[in-house]
Structure formats: structure tokens, C-alpha cells
Amino acid sequence: MATAVQPEKILKELANLWVDLAKEDSAKSANGVIRACSMTLLIASASEEDAESAAETAAELLRAHPGRAISLRFQTSGESVLESRVFARCWMPYGQRQQLCSEQIEISASMDRLADVYAAVLGITVPDLPVVLWTTTPSLLFRPEFAEMLMLARTVIIDTAKLPDTCLALTRVNELFQQGWRMKDLNWSRLTVWREAIAHVFEHDSWRELIPLIDAVTISHRGTTLSTDVCYMAAWLGARLPAAKIIFINGAENVDEGVQSVSIAAGVRHASVSSSESGRLAIDVDGKQHQVLMPPQTEQALLHEELSIAGRDPIFEQALTGAAKYSGAPNV
Amino acid sequence: MPGDNPFLDPQRFERRIEPCVVVIFGASGDLAKRKLVPALYRLAYERRLPPGFAILGVSRTPLSDDDFRAKMKESVQKYLENSPFDESLWNEFARGLFYEAGDIGNTASFVELGKRLDAVAAERNTSGNVLFYLSTQPSQYGPAAAGLGKAGLAKQDKGWRRLIIEKPFGHDQQSARELEVSLHEFFAENQLYRIDHYLGKETVQNILAFRFGNPIFEPLWNRNYINHVQITAAESIGVEDRIQYYQDAGALRDMIQNHLLQVMATVTMEPSAVFEATAVRDERAKLLRSIRIWKPEEVMENTVAGQYGPASIAGQNVVGFRQEPKADPKAKTDTFAAATFFVENWRWADVPFYIRTGKRMPKRVTDIAIRFNSVPHSLFKTMSDGEQIETARPNVLVLRIQPEEGISLRFSSKQPGAGMTLRPVSMDFNYGSSFGVRTPAAYETLLLDAMLGDATLYTRQDMVEASWSVVQPILDTWAARADDPFPNYDAGTWGPKASDEMLARRGHTWRVP
Ligand SMILES: NC(=O)c1ccc[n+]([C@@H]2O[C@H](COP(=O)([O-])OP(=O)(O)OC[C@H]3O[C@@H](n4cnc5c(N)ncnc54)[C@H](OP(=O)(O)O)[C@@H]3O)[C@@H](O)[C@H]2O)c1
């Protein structure tokens, strides 16, 4: 079993790969392969299952966000290993004549070899382009020895829905944010469609006039503790509705985790957004109802949304800082 | 008035379209079925249309709502580009499709249309917002605008009313002014959306991103570094079934007066302070007004009209324009037009802009080539036949609009091996395939913008007038020619010899795109 990973060797393998691809392709057509790159995406997983599904997601994702994907598979037990392989994923974009390829590098390592992985990755990230770290096994962020890996990236993507303890999760994400990382949480992206529906209610002048008078917001959710998306929603609403008391209630058990409905009330006026069966959101504004289709909330779609925001995301940052205080909030 | 909506998140939420009805005049026509309805369907597919959305088709042919739905379904299935067709989405979309038979020439039709609009608005909850799209012959623009106005349908008391018109905006300067007067009788300028589908193309918009988002090019973007610019818009096909229109219009009117002058303005305009409709259009208009207008005696030297004659292309016999079905055998139509333009401002003084467009050219291509100056002093020469040859070639930046949208830069590189001989190489960025995602069709972008009330990519009256001022003297001089020079190029070639001579006068040659 290989025990060393040399950046020069990996880069050489990559270069050869492109030469081979170009040859292969020119034999088939005169159009050539296109090499495109907008970032390095580091994918860190600590289980085979996470790594496999992340690799598939990344392959899809790279179509819209071309880049070099480096898949880091950490083995938390067993013998000491460090090995790598290089390959390309190619596809023919819809309606195009040219193949589009993205490079992928896979590094498998045991946790005792983290320092070596760090050194290797440092040598193979694409120069001058952003480095994004997606931790598909979020518990990695809590391991002290993983701290060095974080130094490789400016942006860190996590899905706090995968973490059992909301309070710990929000504390850690906030900590990293305070230390200067640009944090992105897929459990925040899940709220976009909800937030958009709520924003739409306030497109009406009469609802914007009500803002100072809105005294109650009720968030219904599943489970006995609040999940991170519920806390984010509370923080986001709380920051915009200064007079509102935020009340959490336990909703039905037989539905998905997280936010189930949001009701906003000011005297006799009332608006609510709730998830209904068959992937729709039901919106009720002063008794008038309509439904909107929920866009697919696959991991790939959520990541795509996050990667499409190139700079800072002040609205999320505000919700993130505000969310912590709700993580221990009582249910009614 | 309450303030802004604090719940918006522009980084994540799409701009919202208010509920509205799109009324398409000419709903049974070619443009509606090939472009407009497929583009609207695609917007529905992308979840960009609001729940209260409807299309009301109008033309003279009697059709029921269901007939219209069936016809449109067929066209969407046929003409939808790079996109799957979804049956259940179609059914939802089709519920918002309606049809009303009516004649633009008949005042009573507009009264009926008003009643039908009220009914559709009530059924679909669209609260009075209407976008009228005139997809009919240009001669009907004035009467349609007047008909709508007299029936009170241009009034914005119950919701916004906007009017989209397709090019051509007039046949000449005079008719453009007349059209303006009749449009403005009932519609204010900010209700008018003049479509130039070139401006809606993703890659034309990318020119602005390229210029104003990358400071390394801006210092070079002027007469000190740029030697000349060539804009080519070539089509390999002939006139096909557009002969009726094309025979009267010709290439100069059909392509240069609108699309290519707009493209030229995009390449040469000054940056606006903000990316907003008024600011961007002010800059575009200013540029168009800075183009030198040729005096009649200068026209022939700086422009070329061409018409294709019969030829054999790749073993296939192709007829000349005058032999096309339904063509006038003595037609004076220009199927090729080339012109040299100058922009009279500090940035561009004395830099020639060569524009050419034509039918039956060797291939379909639209691009803009920016040719930089040669090296000021040559180091890299090679001997050939007792002569010193400079091997460093000038840099050329090519902005490709279609078909392979992208940008390439030609620069010189050392030829591998002994000695110091340079050879040109090209660095290539392919827009569509680099991002591997579908780029929206121009009509999708433009329809969406009109529904959002964003006119940045639409042409304004002062731009139309400025372009006519440039083109009219050329048309007049061409029309006054006593001789009949046509046909003067073979189908399947890059145009008449005179076009090469026009560039040669300034020491330049056309590149082969
Ligand atoms: N086709 C294209 O790709 C294209 C590209 C760029 C610009 N354009 C411009 O778009 C416009 C439409 O072009 P097109 O190709 O769609 O033309 P078209 O196929 O000839 O369609 C004209 C439409 O107008 C209707 N119409 C004619 N007279 C009418 C009247 N008096 N009242 C009501 N409706 C009437 C016709 O239907 P009835 O006979 O049933 O009334 C038909 O639906 C033109 O201005 C053209 O220059 C077209």
C-alpha cells in the first residue's frame, strides 16, 4: 500500500490525463475537450458512505461550478494509510458538441496522516482560485487534529442537519465564523424557499406597514429540541420583526425534520406558510390561499445555491450570530 | 408609504414578476410559435412565472382557446431548445393560455380585446398588469398602438401596461419618426420596449462583464493600443421564406442599422456609473451619436453593397438572390453590406470599425475581432528569400457571439526548437461549455426583463434615431446609383471584392472567422 502522496506526481498525472483525454477526444471528434476551472473543492469525509455519495454529488456539481475536486477520505480507525488516485469526469453538456471535463483527485488517509494530507493538498490546489472545503462528515470539524485542514480553505460548507446537538453545532459554526472563515450551512439553504414565500407576503404595502405591530410569530417544527434551521428561521424573523414574540410549537411527527410552518400575526391580520404533502408550500395571507412548488432540495441543489454566492452573505451571517440564543429555547 | 421589504435576499431570491397577462398580437405567426411561446414555457419551467400569469393570443384566424393550446403545445415540443418537455407542467401552463380572434385594422376588435382582458385578469388574478407584444408586420405597429390607446388599454390606472415591438423600427429615418409619433400618442417612452434580440444574447451581455469586470483590459481599450475592430455577422443560408420582408429591407437595414451598431456600441461605450437601464442606455446612445455620419460623396468609398449570384457550393448548385422563389428578377436588394465607421471621441478617434454582414457566406458566424497594434520595434525576425520577415504577429482578441460563444486571444509564442521564431497561438475560453449549464435564450431574458420592467437591454427611441442618422445617407446613396452592380459575389464566398478593397485602402485585410 502506498504510503506517500507527492504533489508533483499528482500534478504530472493530471497533466497526462488531459493529454490522453485530448487524444481520445480528437479521435472521436474535431472539437476537443474543454478544461475549465473556477475553484478547488475539497471534500472531506470520514466514512465510506459519505465519501461515495459526495463524489457523485460533486460530479454533478462540477458541471455548473467547474473546478478541481479533491476528495479526502479519512479513515478514523484501522492501519495507517495514505494513498491517492487521479481521474477526470467528462460529460457532454446539453446541446453542446464539446466534451467538458473536470479533474478529480482522491486521497485516502488515516487520521494519523493528516499532516501529510495537509502538505499534499497544499501543493495541488489550483493557484489563484478560491478553495472551498465541504465537510460531508460534519463531526470532523470538532476534531482538534482537523484544525490544520481548515487552514487550506477560506470557505467552509457544512450541513448542520447531520449533527445531533444544535447547540454544539451552532457554537462551532459561529466560532469558525468569528475566526474568519466564510461559513455556509446547507440547513440554511433549505430555508430559502420558505424565506422567499415569507418575503412575498411583505411585498404587499399593507403587510409592510404592519411590521412594527406584528406581535407573534409561531414556528412549528418536529422534535423535542430545536434543529438549526428552526433557530436560523427564528433569528432571521426576529431581526426583522422587532415587536414579535417568537413561539416554538411541536408539530406533527410524521413529517420531515425541521420547520413545518411559520405563522405571523398582528391583531386580526394573519399570514402563514406551511409545508404540505407532495412537495409544496401552502401560503395563506389573510385567508387567501395558494401553493408553490418546492424546488428540489437535494444536496447538489443546496450546494449549487451556496457556491453561487461568491462573496460574503451578510443575511446568513446575521442569522447565524442570532441563532445561538434560540438553540436552548423551550418548546410550548 | 412603507419602506423597502426587509425580508428580501437578492443574493438568493430571483427577482419577482408581478402577476400579468402577455397579449401576443400575431399569435398564429412564425415568431410566436418558434420563439415567444417556447421562451415563456421555459420560464415557467424555471419557476420564474408567477401563479397569476396568462397569455392571450390575438390574430385574425378564428381559433378556440383549446385550438390555440394544441397549436402551441406542438410548437413548444418542436422548438424548445436545450430543454426537456414536461407534460404535467405544460398542462398547468396551458390553463393560462387564451385566444381571441381580432383584426388590428378594426376598432371593434380592441373593445372586444378589452373585455376579454378583464375576464382573463379576473380568472387568473392578474390585477391589471399587461404586456402587449406586437409580433406582426411592422406596418401594423402604429395602428395597433392607436387601437390599444383609443380603447383605453394603454392607461396604467389598474396596473402597468407595456408594449414590446419587434424590429424594424421604421424603414428609414422618416418612417422611424412617424412610427415614434404614433407610438407616443398613447404610450409614454417608459412603456415602450423595443426588442433587439442581439442585446439579449448572453454573450453580448458578457462583453460588458468582460470590459467592466476586468480592469486589465480597460487601459488597452482605446486608440493607443487598438489598431482596428472587425465585426462580422455572417449567415450561410439564403433568404429562405423571409423574401417578402428581406427584398425591401436588405442587409444594411436588417442587421447593421440595429443589431450590429448596438454590438459596436457595447464594445465601445463608456462605463456607466451604475448598471441600470437609464444609465446604461444613456452611454449606448451617446456612443451611437458619436459615430461619424458619411457625406454622400464619402459613402461609396466607405461602404459596400453586395448581392449573391448563383454558384456551386460543395457540389450543390445554389441560386442567386434574383432567382430565389418569389424574388424580383431585378431586385436591388443588398444581401451583403459592409461599412467602415469611426467614433468621434477621445477614446476612439481614427480607429476604423469595419462591419460586414451577409447571406450565403461560407459559414454562420458572428464575432468581434479587436486587432491590437503591432509591436513597436521588431526583435524576432527571420530570413526568407533574402528578406527579413517579422514573426511577431499583432494580438487579436475575438469576442465570439455565435455559434461557439466565447473569447479567444491570439498571442505570439516561441516556436519549439532552436532559434527564435514566433508563431501565433490562441488562448480560448468557451462560454457555454465552460459552465456546462444551459444559457437562457435571448427571448427568455428579454421577456423576463420586460415583465420585470427592466429596459436595460431594450433599445430607446434616441438610439433608434441615432442609428438611422448613420445608416440613412448610405441607403440614399446606394438607392441613387444609376448602374446595376448586382450580383457581385458568388454564393458561398465572403462577399464582393470591393469589400476587401475597402479595408485595403487603410492597409487592412478581413480576417477569416
Ligand atoms: N420570425 C422571426 O424569426 C422574426 C425574427 C425577428 C423579427 N421578427 C419580426 O416579428 C414580427 C412577426 O414576424 P413573424 O415572422 O411572426 O410574421 P408572420 O409569421 O407573418 O406572422 C404575422 C402574424 O400577424 C397576424 N396578423 C396579420 N395581420 C393581422 C391583423 N390585421 N390583425 C391581427 N393579426 C394580424 C397573422 O395572423 P392572421 O393572419 O391569423 O391574422 C400572424 O399571426 C415581424 O415584425 C418580424 O419582422 C420575426
- The single-letter code of the amino acid at A48 is E
Angle between helices B261-268 and B277-289 (to 10 degrees): 110
pLDDT value for A332: 47
Sort B203 into a burial class: Cβ within 10 Å, 0-12 / 13-18 / 19+: buried
Q: Give the H/E segment covering residue A183.
A: strand A182-185
Cβ within 8 Å of residue A269, ≥6 positions away: A207, A210, A286
Say if CB A152 and CB A122 are below 8 A apart: yes
Say if CB A322 and CB A228 are below 8 A apart: no
Residue A262, SS3? strand
In 3D space, the residue among A169, A172, A153 whose CA is nearest the CA of residue A161 turns out to be A169
- Ligand 1 center to B135 CA (angstroms): 5
- Ligand 1 center to B26 CA (angstroms): 5
- Ligand 1 center to A125 CA (angstroms): 55
Local mean pLDDT, 10-residue blocks, chain B (513 residues): 85 86 96 95 85 92 97 95 82 93 96 96 89 94 96 93 93 93 95 90 87 91 97 92 90 96 96 90 96 97 97 87 94 97 97 97 93 88 74 89 85 81 80 68 91 92 96 97 94 95 96 90
Say if CB B279 and CB B272 are below 8 A apart: yes
For ligand 1, whether the C-beta of B31 sits within 6 Å is: yes
Q: Report the complex ipTM.
A: 0.88
Cβ within 8 Å of residue A198, ≥6 positions away: A237, A262, A264, A271, A273, B7
Q: Do B12 and A305 touch (CB under 8 A)?
A: yes
DSSP H helical ranges for B290-427: 296-302
Q: Do A91 and B438 touch (CB under 8 A)?
A: no
Longest dimension (CA), chain B: 85
Question: Which numbered atom of ligand 1 lies nearest the CA of B138?
Answer: 45
Say if CB B368 and CB B221 are below 8 A apart: no
pLDDT value for A195: 95
Sort B63 into a burial class: Cβ within 10 Å, 0-12 / 13-18 / 19+: middle
Cα distances from A80 to residues A3, A111, A116, B468, in angstroms, run 8, 8, 12, 76
pLDDT value for A1: 42
pTM: 0.83
Cα distances from B489 to residues A171, B240, B306, in angstroms, run 75, 18, 7
For ligand 1, whether the C-beta of B137 sits within 6 Å is: yes
pLDDT value for B343: 98
pLDDT value for A310: 80
CA distance B398 to B410: 8
CA distance B188 to B72: 32
Range A179-184, long-range pairs (CB < 8 A, 24+ positions)? A181/A150, A181/A153, A181/A154, A181/A155, A181/A156, A182/A154, A182/A155, A182/A156, A182/A312, A182/A313, A183/A155, A183/A156, A183/A158, A183/A316, A183/A320, A184/A155, A184/A156, A184/A157, A184/A158, A184/A306, A184/A309, A184/A313, A184/A316
Q: Which residues in chain B are contacts of A293 at CB distance < 8 A?
A: 47
- Sole residue written with cell 461605450: B269
Q: Do A199 and B5 touch (CB under 8 A)?
A: yes
DSSP B493: S
pLDDT value for A65: 84
Per-residue pLDDT of chain A (332 residues; tens, 9 = 90+): 445 677 778 787 877 777 777 676 555 544 455 566 788 999 999 988 888 888 888 888 887 788 889 999 998 888 888 888 887 777 665 555 556 667 789 999 998 888 889 988 988 888 888 999 999 999 999 999 899 899 999 999 999 999 989 999 999 999 999 999 999 999 999 999 999 999 988 988 889 999 999 999 999 998 778 999 999 999 999 999 999 999 999 887 666 678 999 999 998 899 999 988 767 788 899 888 777 777 778 999 999 999 988 888 999 999 999 998 898 755 54
- Sole residue written with cell 460533486: A58
Domains of chain A, earliest start first: 7-153 (no CATH), 187-332 (3.30.360)
Best residue among B109, B135, B197 to mutate for probing ligand 1's pocket (most ligand atoms within 8 Å of CB) is B135
Q: Using CA atoms in the order B116, B119, B124, B126, what is the torsion angle rounded to 10 degrees?
A: 80
C-alpha angle with apex B250: B177 to B292, nearest 5 degrees?
Answer: 60
pLDDT value for B436: 62
Best residue among B56, B59, B99 to mutate for probing ligand 1's pocket (most ligand atoms within 8 Å of CB) is B59
DSSP A243: T
Residue B389, SS3? strand
pLDDT value for B378: 79
Q: How many Cβ contacts (< 8 angstroms) between chains A and B?
A: 78
Nearest-CA distance from A74 to chain B in Å?
A: 30
Q: Which residues in chain B are contacts of A195 at CB distance < 8 A?
A: 7, 9, 12-13
Residue A44 β-bridge partners: A72, A135
CA distance B457 to B443: 11
Nearest CB neighbour to A98, from listed B8, B51, B430? B430
For ligand 1, whether the C-beta of B30 sits within 6 Å is: yes
C-alpha angle with apex B354: B349 to B358, nearest 5 degrees?
Answer: 155
Quote the cell numbers at residue B339. 461599412
Nearest CB neighbour to B47, from listed A64, A95, A293? A293
In 3D space, the residue among A164, A317, A183, A271 whose CA is nearest the CA of residue A226 turns out to be A164
